[in-house]
């Protein structure tokens, strides 16, 4: 039969980039594209032990669970978040299949087609996909290394009357930047006075390598959870492991209740095996030391990539020097185009994500995102050399063209 | 701040029943309400061993996975489904967080607000929630013990021009009925000729207790997967355990591709811990013998409940005698109302789901769904006695009123 897909399906941009990146799977291409943690540092033994403790509790561990998530894990997370200045009870929290699902559920309960959501320029591409699938109108706010520019934010609020704003203020995806305290306060003040709900996406906040401590979360600067303007979400994917697919969201109780109702329709609940195991892990494993280990190792990988970029791409691009997170953000020089470069790079055996996918509108064509956490030192050296050769080929093509 | 939830949020019916059922959690109420498997028969040791095998594969088991799901599990499932007359390759399959998520994803990629979807009368309540949240117009087709009535189906097709139909032809939720072969063929023929996509929800097909074998699935009677009119979904929740939250969907490749794109926005992917464990389980555990065990045990529980109903409620209700599944469907006599009865039953210490939630329109008020798989014999006896007392109270209230 001839299928008649919904309108929102056609709203998904077809992605030439995704097709190229698919070619990189399972072969010899060194990929800096994915936002993948380093597998070496996954706490396999501790996770194994945690699952074993779950099974010790007997058959009940395999039954259906609550839509809001395993209550003892929500309690543990509330304790941990309170040490970070975020105060909430389990009633203010819902567990989701990664924080990706939190973005989707909140968009579904809060945005109608045509509603405006403000985002950073650039921002996380899979959040853009959620808002586009929802039929929302996504408006980018001009942003620099310190966060959204308050003047542009204010003018976009007046022009577009947004209902929501989506931001990653700490070690953002894709740029790795950290908002200053002033910029955070400016966003909060404007959203509070215009009744705009903020989704603060914080998957990378713990991945801090430098000495300087980032400014407090928007959530902790707000007056929530109840009646607050900020919905906060984070995940175990970067600090324990992504396969466990467990994120959490903290917000006003009524927002959590509505997210739970939507989640009940979406999938009843997420894996309680994973949630129970993470609870046992938090009880019996030194998560703080583990995070300290990841910080050291990722910090070294970041330094290595910066050094390699300095020696190989100094004349062809410039980039930032993030203090945490998983990504470096590059701008190509000489009229080089990132999508063209990707094709050449894949031919050489290296991959990255061209930056255009991270823009809601008018992408610049010359930016790209490099992940520095996944590849080990030797692989990273080899990959950057390949990338460098691809850049040289593109440059000579430009000269010839 | 004052929150401005989306329209679809207000479309969710607020459920007085859910509030009553919440009262039953964690106290002495015997609940026949949930569709819960019996915990005694969960294959805990085998699941534990399966997870242990996953960890033996090393750190890679904790990394991000494919949106479509763990490929070796899709391969295993294709093998198993082919033994049941359903032929497909892993490209025709996506794994989801329970089959609930399959319903949601398909509704999101196929239905626009205002589109019409046909359902049985009555049908699965959480599917109704999905379609309502999507803003679809749900139209019930009159149904008897053999399935949808072809005459009414044809007239509703002509009147409403539906885009999709949602059915549970084998041991349905809530009624436990099985469609005859003729009714299956009638639905197929009409949907094929009018280009209506069918979602065949089959979570209970394996839970067969009687001697008679149900008619083949709609999917196996169709010409799919490619270009087919049927999307098939099932789950491990009833044959292994719900906590693992793993369902699968088989359909035309393009439908699967669109579901995967939507799933990428919805949650990137489901728990790969659970998917890997289920794959190891299928390799090393005798799933067929386990299903045979569940069939025997559930068949006995069904018989016991039927016997108890016969002795306690013969004069106050009538009900069907299903050959499988998890539910018995009752119609109350004497003008008794199921919602009123629930209040009284909870006071007595027993619970069930009033049938009205399973109707898209004009609920009759006097139906209810009883689960027979969860409670053990002693608990079931006690619960039905309590229910019977509640019925007597309601009857005398009726007489007094």
**Polymer length of chain B:** 401
Bridge partners of residue B119, in order along the sequence? B140, B166
Number of domains into which chain B is organized: 2
Please tell me what DSSP assigns to residue B71: H
What's the rounded Cα separation, in Å, for the pair B288 and A248?
37
Q: Which structure tokens are listed for A90? A: 């389990």
- Judging contacts by C-beta atoms under 8 Å, the chain A residues touching residue B36 are 63-64
Look at residues A57, A70, A63 and name the one whose alpha carbon lies nearest to residue B41. A63
> How close does chain B come to A317, measured CA to CA in Å?
30
Q: Does the distance separating the beta carbons of B104 and A267 come in below 8 Å?
A: yes
What's the rounded Cα separation, in Å, for the pair B327 and B125?
14
Residue A327 confidence (pLDDT) above 80: yes
Q: Does the distance separating the beta carbons of B62 and A243 come in below 8 Å?
A: yes
- Judging contacts by C-beta atoms under 8 Å, the chain B residues touching residue A110 are 3-6, 9
* Structural domain contains residue B129: yes
Residue A301 dihedral angles phi and psi, to the nearest 5°: -65, -40
Q: Does the distance separating the beta carbons of A192 and B1 come in below 8 Å?
A: yes
Residue matched to tokens 């956490």: A373
B113 Cβ contact list (under 8 Å, min separation 6): B134, B135, B136
Residue in B1, B130, B269 nearest the CB of A195: B1
A256 with A209, same domain? yes
Distances (CA, A) of A387 to A144, A398, B392: 27, 16, 80
Q: Are A13 and A125 in contact (CB under 8 A)?
A: no
B252 with B324, same domain? no
A240 with A369, same domain? no
Q: Are A294 and B124 in contact (CB under 8 A)?
A: no
* Structural domain contains residue A1: no
* Structural domain contains residue A321: yes
Q: Are A266 and B245 in contact (CB under 8 A)?
A: no
**Mean of pLDDT over chain A:** 95
Q: Which residue of B has its CA nearest to A222?
A: B1
B37 with B49, same domain? no
Q: Which residue of A has its CA nearest to B53?
A: A48
Residue in B37, B55, B64 nearest the CB of A48: B55
CA of residue B74 relative to chain centroid, distance: 21
Element (H, E) at B332: strand B327-332
- Judging contacts by C-beta atoms under 8 Å, the chain A residues touching residue B51 are 48, 51, 55
What's the rounded Cα separation, in Å, for the pair B204 and B171?
6
Domain boundary residue, one of B284, B312, B346: B284
Low-confidence ranges of chain B (pLDDT < 70): 12-21, 23-27, 401
Q: Which residue of B has its CA nearest to A259?
A: B9
Q: Does the distance separating the beta carbons of B252 and A3 come in below 8 Å?
A: yes
Bridge partners of residue B208, in order along the sequence? B324
- Judging contacts by C-beta atoms under 8 Å, the chain B residues touching residue A241 are 62-63
> How close does chain A come to B254, measured CA to CA in Å?
9
- Judging contacts by C-beta atoms under 8 Å, the chain A residues touching residue B261 are 9, 12
Domain boundary residue, one of A269, A285, A301: A285
Q: Does the distance separating the beta carbons of B63 and A242 come in below 8 Å?
A: yes
Residue matched to tokens 């959480």: B126
Look at residues A33, A6, A115, A3 and name the one whose alpha carbon lies nearest to residue A354. A33
Residue matched to tokens 């070690």: A171
B316 with B276, same domain? no
- Judging contacts by C-beta atoms under 8 Å, the chain B residues touching residue A101 are 266-267
What's the rounded Cα separation, in Å, for the pair A96 and A256?
11
A71 with A184, same domain? yes
What's the rounded Cα separation, in Å, for the pair B246 and B242?
8
| B122 preceded by a cis bond (ω within 30 of 0) | yes
Query: Any alpha helices (H) in A139-236, and if so which ranges?
Result: 150-160, 181-194, 218-221
Q: In what order do the strands lie in the sheet with B367-371?
A: B317-319, B327-332, B367-371, B353-354
Element (H, E) at A31: strand A30-31
What's the rounded Cα separation, in Å, for the pair B322 and B171?
7
B38 with B66, same domain? no
A51 with A168, same domain? yes
- Judging contacts by C-beta atoms under 8 Å, the chain A residues touching residue B108 are 6, 8, 133
Q: Are B149 and B104 in contact (CB under 8 A)?
A: no
Q: How many Cα atoms occupy the beta-carbon half-sphere of B154 within 13 Å?
A: 8
* Structural domain contains residue A2: no
Which candidate in A26, A266, A374 is best for mutational testing of the B interface (most B CBs within 10 A)?
Answer: A266
B164 with B132, same domain? yes
Residue A234 dihedral angles phi and psi, to the nearest 5°: -145, -175
* Structural domain contains residue B1: no
> How large is the ipTM?
0.96
A32 with A65, same domain? no
Residue A14 confidence (pLDDT) above 90: no
Q: How many Cα atoms occupy the beta-carbon half-sphere of B216 within 13 Å?
A: 13
Q: Which residue of B has its CA nearest to A272?
A: B243
Identify the CATH number of the domain in which residue A268 sits. 3.40.640.10
* Structural domain contains residue B29: yes
Distances (CA, A) of B22 to A69, B19, B134, B174: 15, 5, 26, 20
B22 with B132, same domain? no
- Judging contacts by C-beta atoms under 8 Å, the chain A residues touching residue B130 are 265-266
Please provide the DSSP assignment of A229-258 as one string.
Answer: SEEEEEESTTTT-GGG-EEEEE--HHHHHH
Element (H, E) at B249: strand B246-250
Residue in B108, B163, B228 nearest the CB of A8: B108
pLDDT value of residue A11:
72
Q: Does the distance separating the beta carbons of A39 and B60 come in below 8 Å?
A: yes
A89 with A223, same domain? yes
Identify the CATH number of the domain in which residue A340 sits. 3.90.1150.10
pLDDT value of residue A147:
97
Burial letters B143-177, b for 16+ CB under 10 A, else e: beeebbbbeebeebbeeeebbbbbbbbbbbbbbbb
Please provide the DSSP assignment of B146-195 as one string.
Answer: TEE-HHHHHHHHHHH--SEEEE--BS-TTT--B--HHHHHHHHHHHHHHT
* Structural domain contains residue A386: yes
* Structural domain contains residue A153: yes
Domain boundary residue, one of B257, B284, B311: B284
- Judging contacts by C-beta atoms under 8 Å, the chain A residues touching residue B192 are 1
Q: Which structure tokens are listed for B98? A: 């329970």
Residue in A9, A229, A262 nearest the CB of B258: A9
Q: Does the distance separating the beta carbons of A36 and B55 come in below 8 Å?
A: no
- Judging contacts by C-beta atoms under 8 Å, the chain A residues touching residue B277 are 273
> How close does chain B come to A154, measured CA to CA in Å?
18
Give residue A353's pLDDT band: very low, low, confident or very high (50, 70, 90): very high
Name the residue range of residue B157's domain.
Answer: 45-284
Give residue A16's pLDDT band: very low, low, confident or very high (50, 70, 90): low
């Amino acid at each position: 039969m001839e299928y008649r897909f919904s309108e929102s399906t056609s709203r998904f941009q077809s992605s030439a980039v995704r097709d190229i990146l698919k070619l990189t799977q399972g072969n010899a291409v060194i990929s800096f594209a994915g936002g993948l943690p380093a597998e070496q540092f996954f706490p396999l033994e501790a996770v194994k032990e945690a699952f074993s403790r779950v099974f010790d509790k007997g058959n009940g561990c395999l039954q259906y669970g609550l839509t809001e998530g395993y209550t003892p894990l929500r309690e543990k997370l509330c304790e941990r978040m309170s040490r970070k200045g975020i105060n909430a009870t389990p009633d203010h929290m819902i567990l989701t299949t990664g924080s990706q699902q939190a973005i989707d559920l909140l968009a579904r309960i809060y945005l109608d087609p045509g509603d405006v959501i403000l985002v950073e320029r650039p921002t996380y591409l899979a959040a853009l996909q959620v808002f586009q699938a929802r039929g929302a109108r996504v408006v980018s706010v001009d942003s620099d290394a310190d966060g959204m520019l308050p003047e542009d934010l204010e003018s976009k609020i007046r022009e577009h009357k947004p209902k929501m704003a989506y931001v990653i203020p700490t070690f953002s995806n894709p740029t790795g930047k950290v908002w200053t305290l002033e910029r955070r306060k400016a966003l909060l003040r404007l959203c509070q006075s215009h009744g705009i709900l903020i989704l603060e996406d914080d998957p990378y906040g713990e991945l801090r390598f430098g000495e300087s401590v980032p400014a407090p979360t928007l959530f902790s600067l707000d007056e929530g959870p109840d009646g607050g303007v900020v919905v906060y979400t984070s995940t175990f994917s970067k600090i324990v492991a992504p396969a466990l697919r467990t994120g959490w969201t903290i917000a006003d109780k009524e927002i959590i209740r509505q997210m739970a109702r939507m989640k009940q329709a979406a999938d009843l609940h997420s894996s309680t095996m994973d949630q129970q195991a993470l609870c046992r892990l938090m009880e019996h494993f030194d998560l703080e030391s583990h995070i300290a280990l990841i910080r050291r190792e990722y910090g070294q990988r970041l330094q290595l990539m910066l050094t390699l970029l300095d020696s190989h791409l100094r004349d062809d691009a410039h980039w930032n020097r993030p203090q945490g997170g998983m990504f470096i953000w590059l701008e190509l020089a000489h009229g080089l185009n990132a999508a063209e470069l990707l094709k050449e790079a894949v031919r050489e055996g290296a991959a990255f994500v061209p930056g255009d996918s991270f823009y809601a509108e008018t992408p610049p064509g010359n930016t790209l995102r490099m992940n520095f956490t996944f590849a080990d030192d030797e692989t990273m050296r080899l990959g950057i050399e390949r990338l460098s050769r691809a850049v040289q080929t593109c440059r000579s093509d430009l000269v010839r063209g």
